[in-house]
Structure 1
Amino acid sequence: MFQPNWDQVREEVTGSLVDLIRLDTTNPPGNEMLAAEYLAAVLHEAGLEPVVLESAPGRGNVVARLRGNGQEAPLLLMGHTDVVPAEPEFWQHPPFAGKIADGYIWGRGAVDMKDIVATFLELLLLFKRRVDAGDPPLRRDLIFMATADEERGGHLGAGFLVDHHPDLIRAEYALNEGGGRASMVGEQEYITCQTAEKGLARFQLEAHGEPGHASVPREDNAVVRLAETIARIGRARLPYHLTDTVWSYITAIAATQPPAVGEAFERLLDAATFDEALAALPVPAQMKRMLVAITHNTASPTILQAGSKVNVFPSVATARVDGRLLPGFDQESFRVELEPYLGEGVELSFTDSGAPLEASLESPLYEAIQTVMSTAAAETVLIPSMLTGATDAKHIVRLGTKVYGFCPRRFDGLDFLSLVHSHNERISVDNLLYGTQVLYQVIERFCSNGY
């Protein structure tokens, strides 16, 4: 029976990540064809048949399939190869050098998410070698997908494939970014599996007023009307809502904390005691903000525009607001929550949307993750989580795929969220290997045992 050579895997997955980081796929403009062609060459050399698809000039996507015996529907390994701008002057090591220093691989994309792309690539290669060694095929096809444009909505990547090539990537389940993060609450270590994701409901506020000379103040000043509405919305705490994922997340933490802290977490489950319990929690402010975000729809004003001359009242003033929806909500139910905060003469119109999603905690894939983690990290508590941002899952779920964010990393003292889109992004070689080892077991269990 085939057994991976983990020393070889360490070398290969590290090399793949270094190579991917060295390909500058900053979006905009993207140039993800660089990564797509690199990945396709590796896959082709392994005896697979990758398909490279260009959604726009230079915007490359690659898909490859390791066929199983067809007894179960496919599992998709999904990732993106574009990265956000880096500001090289603020880095300890150049962001596109892929330098290995102090046991870490440094560079833009090291944790978002070229690390996971490298891991998924290695996993496909390992299961191909397993078949080549004479082991029975998996019960499910294993599909590898690396796409463009996720950092700007994914329309030229995952969205393009869903719209134009759905049969290449159609799967029952998918593994994605968004989970696997290790963190500490008190003395207990937790690791997340993302089972829910907030939706996108960005909107524009437009205030109207009479134009005129600014030397004579007016009560219908469009700028003032807009500013008052923005202040109300920006400071508002919209109604409390509890999803299955967040209930399970809070309950799991409460059950594994000292009694006083556990009780405070339990009181987060009731809207009437949420604020008092939140204030009493001995956790960092960042976690408190996150707990608010996963129990409420949110609206954050970010862009303002009004006027062109300092002594003229503009007739129109506008603001762009980043709205995020909990599972179970859509634009119209969100509008109902926002309407009490709109002022006279202010109109709201939605501009961008993406549906929220939530996957079951009782699925065979989640069960496989739980089972593997109970032995791979027995001292760590696996908890479901909700991502407050958006990933390419919003596109893939349109095909009926159940998406879970999971690529585990051990807690090594670094705050994962402080590295994403930030300077000095990096991942340890040990963590890169660890995630590959754990996911090999997850896929083996999920795709070999008839789950």
Structure 2
Amino acid sequence: MIRLDTTNPPGNEVLMTDLIAEIFEKEGIWHRVQKTGEGRANLIARIGVDSDLPPILLISHTDVVGCENQSWTHPPFAAVEKEGIIYGRGTVDTKHLTAMQLCAMIALKDEQLDRAVYLLATSDEEQGSALGMPKLVEEYGCLLERGLVINEGGGFCITHNEKPYWLCTVGEKGRIELRVIIEGASGPASFKCENKAVDTFSALLEHLASYPFPLIETDVHRRFCDVLGDDITHPFLKHFYTYNSHDAIILQRYDIGTQVNVLPYRIEFELSLQLLPGRSEAEARAMVDALFADMPVTYEVLRFDPGFASDCNNTFYRTMEELARRQYGAQAIIPVYALGRTDGRFLGNLSCDVYGFSPVTKAIPFETILTLVHQVDEHIDRDSIEQGTRFLTDLVGIIGKS
């Protein structure tokens, strides 16, 4: 899989779907390939039986980001293995998950499962997913509703009070994206004048940076605190404490002109509000109005995407946690909202419970993962692939026979 170059753009994910389809054909597993463009394709496969029970959905994306301007120790599509470490683009985002899920499907294909188990391998996730998961949901959504989903985004070890825990994403924040325009006086940069656009821009940045979003007691935040207690010292866990309980602002792009020593009369920038799950578009627009109240700016809403949250106390979640204790020595699973957007968002709004848990061993802790995703010398250890396959096989087997 790593040796198949599915860099997006252009994608060419059909290389992956052809490979997976060939394997499933040999194994006698039902599957369909959905073509969505030149060289672009998604795949859905199924084992188990139709029933009224929620299906299990194993999802991953088959495209990868590019390697331009990166100096790799080993070629990024050679899948070189050195001392148990496999190097290559996609080894942790997310062809490792595709491989583990595929192996779990094969291992369980002849088991007497009481529900359907679907594998969804999608294209275009790295460029917004337009040709990927939404297309599968459009065609097969009626089969996927209320699903129990294993997704990317978590499954990484983090240490708290010298004990190992594993992160699990249990939802994603929503977003409202805005274009903001400031207009004012122009002129030489060194000449004093009133109503400078840059002065307003500076004041607005300070206002946004210090805006007092209140703490919201979400279910995820409460569970997070129940697991870790009050003594949180790890810097990333302190960040998650705030991230799980507060809305936030992200400045995405700005344009303040290109002329030397001349202040612009117009400044345009784009920002997004990251919103805790449960916010409606009307609530989000009211927050924007409050954010810019009494500020001399104009703005327009570009788009709104709702967030979603999953149950972090159901049988599926508790089974994941028990398996993490047994197989990885985890003290517990820590629930968090995903730091970015994944294909899970298209299922979270189908009343699915979506869990980011693509487990790796302690050899690649969370701190290391952050330096590997989309970065040079992306890699994974062989033990993570083998143990992760066992974990997913056991999880699906237990839930699929319950």
Q: When the two structures are superposed, what TM-score results if normalisation uses the length of structure 2?
A: 0.90
Could you tell me whether the CA contact under 8 Å between 1:194 and 1:404 is conserved in 2? yes
Could you tell me whether the CA contact under 8 Å between 1:409 and 1:431 is conserved in 2? yes
Specify the alignment match of 2:246 in structure 1: 296
Could you tell me whether the CA contact under 8 Å between 1:87 and 1:423 is conserved in 2? no
The structure with more helix, counted as a fraction of residues: 1
More displaced stretch, 108-117 vs 207-216: 207-216
Could you tell me whether the CA contact under 8 Å between 1:161 and 1:169 is conserved in 2? no
Q: Does 1:440 align with 2:393?
A: yes
Residue 92 of structure 1 aligns to a residue whose secondary structure is coil
Matches within 5 A, 1:44-443: 44-68=25-49, 70=51, 72-87=53-68, 89-128=70-109, 131=110, 135=111, 137-167=112-142, 169-170=144-145, 172-210=147-185, 217-254=192-229, 263-265=230-232, 281=233, 283-284=234-235, 286-310=236-260, 314-339=264-289, 341-342=291-292, 344-412=295-363, 414=365, 415-443=368-396
More displaced stretch, 228-237 vs 438-447: 228-237
Cα deviation, residue 298, structure 1: 1.0
Give the partner amino acid of 2:195.
D
Change (3 A) 1:31 1:353: farther
Q: Distance in 2 between matches of 1:208 and 1:315?
A: 6
Give the partner amino acid of 2:334.
I
Could you tell me whether the CA contact under 8 Å between 1:61 and 1:146 is conserved in 2? yes
Q: Distance in 2 between matches of 1:314 and 1:57?
A: 44
Cα deviation, residue 311, structure 1: 6.2
Q: Distance in 1 between matches of 2:178 and 2:343?
A: 20
Cα deviation, residue 139, structure 1: 0.5
Flag structure 1 segments of 5+ consecutive residues without an equivalent: 1-19, 255-262, 266-280
Q: Distance in 2 between matches of 1:35 and 1:348?
A: 43
Q: Distance in 2 between matches of 1:321 and 1:185?
A: 34
Q: Distance in 2 between matches of 1:303 and 1:232?
A: 17
Change (3 A) 1:217 1:36: farther
More displaced stretch, 287-296 vs 103-112: 287-296
Q: Distance in 2 between matches of 1:70 and 1:207?
A: 57
Specify the alignment match of 1:3 in structure 2: none
Cα deviation, residue 336, structure 1: 4.2
Change (3 A) 1:295 1:417: same
Specify the alignment match of 1:16 in structure 2: none
More displaced stretch, 399-408 vs 74-83: 399-408
Q: Distance in 2 between matches of 1:49 and 1:227?
A: 58
Q: Distance in 1 between matches of 2:15 and 2:225?
A: 42
Change (3 A) 1:217 1:27: farther
Give the partner amino acid of 2:231.
A
Give the partner amino acid of 1:362.
N
Q: Distance in 1 between matches of 2:55 and 2:372?
A: 32
Cα deviation, residue 50, structure 1: 2.1
Cα deviation, residue 417, structure 1: 2.0
More displaced stretch, 173-182 vs 407-416: 407-416
Cα deviation, residue 79, structure 1: 0.8
Cα deviation, residue 184, structure 1: 0.9
Give the partner amino acid of 1:181.
F
CA deviation profile, 1:405-428 (whole Å, cap 9, x unmatched)? 222222115422222222221111
Q: Identity over aligned residues, as a percent?
A: 29
Q: Distance in 1 between matches of 2:139 and 2:358?
A: 28
| C-alpha RMSD over aligned residues | 2.5
Change (3 A) 1:316 1:54: farther
Could you tell me whether the CA contact under 8 Å between 1:199 and 1:355 is conserved in 2? yes
Give the partner amino acid of 1:391.
T
More displaced stretch, 87-96 vs 305-314: 305-314
Could you tell me whether the CA contact under 8 Å between 1:81 and 1:117 is conserved in 2? yes
- Number of matched residues? 399
Cα deviation, residue 118, structure 1: 0.8
Q: When the two structures are superposed, what TM-score results if normalisation uses the length of structure 1?
A: 0.81
Cα deviation, residue 207, structure 1: 1.1
Could you tell me whether the CA contact under 8 Å between 1:159 and 1:396 is conserved in 2? no
Give the partner amino acid of 2:150.
L
Give the partner amino acid of 2:223.
S
Cα deviation, residue 88, structure 1: 5.9
Q: Distance in 2 between matches of 1:244 and 1:73?
A: 22
CA deviation profile, 1:124-174 (whole Å, cap 9, x unmatched)? 11112xx1xxx4x31111111010111222222112222344246445321
Cα deviation, residue 111, structure 1: 0.9
Change (3 A) 1:344 1:124: same
Residue 349 of structure 1 aligns to a residue whose secondary structure is strand
